[in-house]
Chains A and B, each alone.
Chain A
Amino acid sequence: MKCVQTIAGVLAIVGLGYIAGVGHSLVRELPVILGPASNTKAPDIKPPGPNTPETDDPGIVEPPETDPVSESDPESIPEFDPMLDAPVPEGMLSLRKAHQFWLEGAYFVDSRLRDEYDEGHIALAAYLTAETLFTDEGEAEMNTIPPDATVVIYCLGGDECDASLNTKAILEQFGFTDLSIMGVGYDEWAAAGLPTESNIPSNTEEGTP
């Protein structure tokens, strides 16, 4: 008898949960299930392609030739540099490669903490993390990046790059196809004298008027 009561209770709980879920779905926009699941282990880092951002794209990340925050000149970078060519985890971009991507117009995504981003980030990088991607602000920011664009995600680098992996996994689920992770962190990028900017004086990468 107790067994029957318990099973009946389980069914009641599941039924109540279903009703609550249906009620919840009525008051909230349905989640979007975009395209096929694509979060497979395939960290294929494609070579920098002809991925120049469209000029009419109101997007956020367009490393232009006339970038006011750019401090670097590709010609001035030496051929072999221990900092630029520092070893990185397999499947991730070295600093030199990441900078090359930046120069070629790849979109950069910061996945560190908001404070760290505000303090300083790679010039024109967007702020997208697993936490913000599902907020209206995050989605709006993400929608400014074409899904087939080359996107380079970075965080603190090294072993602490879980945030980049999370952001990458979520962006893959949103249908982004050309995602790479920078194997070194923001500090290395800044230490190498590559272009950075800070949100403290002004926010230049949001694309908002």
Chain B
Amino acid sequence: MSAKRWAESILLQFPMRAALGGVFVFAAFTKISNIQAFAFAIKGFKILDPDKHGHLIVSAAYTMPWVEMIAGVLLVLGLWTRAAALTIGLMLVFFIAALLHVIFDSSIEADCSCFGDMNIVCGSAVGWCQVIRDVIMLIPVGYLLWRGGGIVGFDTLRERKSGTQGAIQGSKPGSAVDEDRTRG
């Protein structure tokens, strides 16, 4: 592995993963600890009619934070990095669409509840600040999708292990190649 790849992994990919994953884990934690508030927040966005689709609001209130949590943890660990990054990217796109829905419908005044009761960078009321914040977070998502999670992560171990196993399984038992690998 070249020094360039190491440098990219340590200076770019790992910090991006840690920051993005950390933000999502924190956001998920604040929501999981107060599902009721998050359910009201989803309702406040007026995407779903609470009378007809209240069950979907409840379902989303339970599922979304856990998806955020799992994707965030996987991203920090560097396991299934591309899948975790794509999950987070899709969620961000959905969040941006929801925010725009609120911004362009002047009859709705919703609280973001992006981080539960806490406000990070932006205020609690939905506005362009949250859209910009989410768009900025899409940048590392795109980079990680393009370049992968880098060397510092469980994906490297997984790939190395599966690559070794695949090579062993692919070779005939007792062959010279197999013996070399097992010795090595």
Asked if A40 and B70 sit within 8 Å, CB to CB, the answer is no
CB contacts (< 8 Å) of A40 on chain B: these are 107-109
Shortest A139–chain B CB gap in Å is 9
Asked if A166 and B111 sit within 8 Å, CB to CB, the answer is yes
With contacts A16-B70, A21-B66, A24-B66 taken as known, whether A33 is within 8 angstroms of B83 at the C-beta atoms is no
Contact of A10 among B43, B50, B83 (CB under 8 A): B83
CB contacts (< 8 Å) of A89 on chain B: these are none
Asked if A39 and B44 sit within 8 Å, CB to CB, the answer is yes
How distant is the Cα of A170 from the Cα of B46 in the complex, in angstroms?
Answer: 14
Shortest B130–chain A CB gap in Å is 15
How distant is the Cα of A17 from the Cα of B64 in the complex, in angstroms?
Answer: 7
Total interface residues on A, CB under 8 Å, equals 39
Q: What's the A-B contact tally at a CB cutoff of 8 Å?
A: 121
Shortest B77–chain A CB gap in Å is 13
How distant is the Cα of A30 from the Cα of B172 in the complex, in angstroms?
Answer: 57
Asked if B117 and A41 sit within 8 Å, CB to CB, the answer is no
CB contacts (< 8 Å) of A140 on chain B: these are none
Q: Does B74 contact A (CB under 8 A)?
A: yes
With contacts A13-B70, A14-B87 taken as known, whether A162 is within 8 angstroms of B80 at the C-beta atoms is no
Q: Does A31 contact B (CB under 8 A)?
A: yes
CB contacts (< 8 Å) of A41 on chain B: these are 106-109
Residues of B60-92 contacting chain A, CB below 8 A: 61-71, 74, 80, 82-84, 86-87, 90
Asked if B87 and A13 sit within 8 Å, CB to CB, the answer is yes
| Cβ-closest chain A residue relative to B42 | A33
Shortest A161–chain B CB gap in Å is 12
Asked if A130 and B83 sit within 8 Å, CB to CB, the answer is no
CB contacts (< 8 Å) of B108 on chain A: these are 39-41
Binding site for B on A (CB under 8 A): 2, 5-10, 12-14, 16-18, 20-22, 24-25, 28, 30-33, 35-37, 39-41, 130-131, 133-134, 162, 165-166, 169-170, 173
Known: A13-B80, A14-B67. 9 other contacts (CB 8 A): A9-B83, A9-B84, A13-B67, A17-B68, A31-B38, A31-B61, A40-B107, A40-B109, A134-B34
